């Protein structure tokens, strides 16, 4: 079981990882096959998750990579160190922007799941997996 499936399988309210439905003796497969399981979604929980992730994304953006190095650049203006600090600020700003964008994408997926709460674990997992690695 991969990461998204194991997380989704644990969403029964206990926080404990659950075995796939097909692995539970006597439990009929759901939706016509052992590889498909239904997630009981709490739309309010997904909306709250979406909101919280949106707030976190804004906080990450607000860290301001370029601003972090402004004082150093001014202190040694015109030197190689100032140029290196400027470049480091640009790199940090880019990295923070990428991280904030990824968090926003997760917020969108959670919000979309709240609006369309009849989601299978494979659909949700595939959306998270489609994000790829950072």
Determine the straight-line distance between the first and last CA of the chain, rounded to whole angstroms. 21
Q: Kindly state the DSSP code that residue 103 receives in the 8-state scheme.
A: H
Identify the band that residue 23 occupies on the pLDDT scale cut at 50, 70 and 90. low
Identify the band that residue 128 occupies on the pLDDT scale cut at 50, 70 and 90. confident
| Spatial separation of the C-alpha atoms in residues 65 and 63, rounded to whole Å | 6
pLDDT for residue 71? 86
Partners of 38 in beta bridges = 120
Task: Work out the average pLDDT over 3-21.
Answer: 52
Query: Quick check: helix, strand or coil at residue 38?
Result: strand
pLDDT for residue 56? 93
pTM, to two decimals: 0.56
pLDDT for residue 124? 73
2-6, 81-85, 125-129: which is most confident: 81-85
pLDDT for residue 67? 76
Residue 25 pLDDT > 70: no
pLDDT for residue 66? 73
More confident call, 33 vs 75: 75
């Amino acid at each position: 079981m991969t990461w998204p499936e194991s997380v989704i399988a644990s969403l029964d309210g206990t926080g404990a990882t659950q075995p796939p439905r097909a692995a539970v003796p006597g439990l009929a497969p759901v939706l016509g096959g052992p590889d498909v399981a239904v997630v009981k979604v709490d739309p309010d929980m997904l909306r709250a998750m979406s909101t919280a992730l949106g707030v976190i994304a804004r906080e990450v953006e607000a860290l301001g990579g370029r601003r972090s190095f402004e004082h150093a650049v001014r202190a040694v203006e015109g030197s190689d160190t100032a140029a290196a600090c400027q470049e480091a600020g640009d790199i940090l700003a880019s990295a923070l922007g990428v991280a904030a964008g990824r968090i926003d994408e997760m917020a969108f997926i959670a919000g979309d799941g709240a609006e369309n709460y009849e989601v299978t674990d494979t659909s949700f997992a595939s959306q998270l997996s489609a994000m790829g690695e950072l």
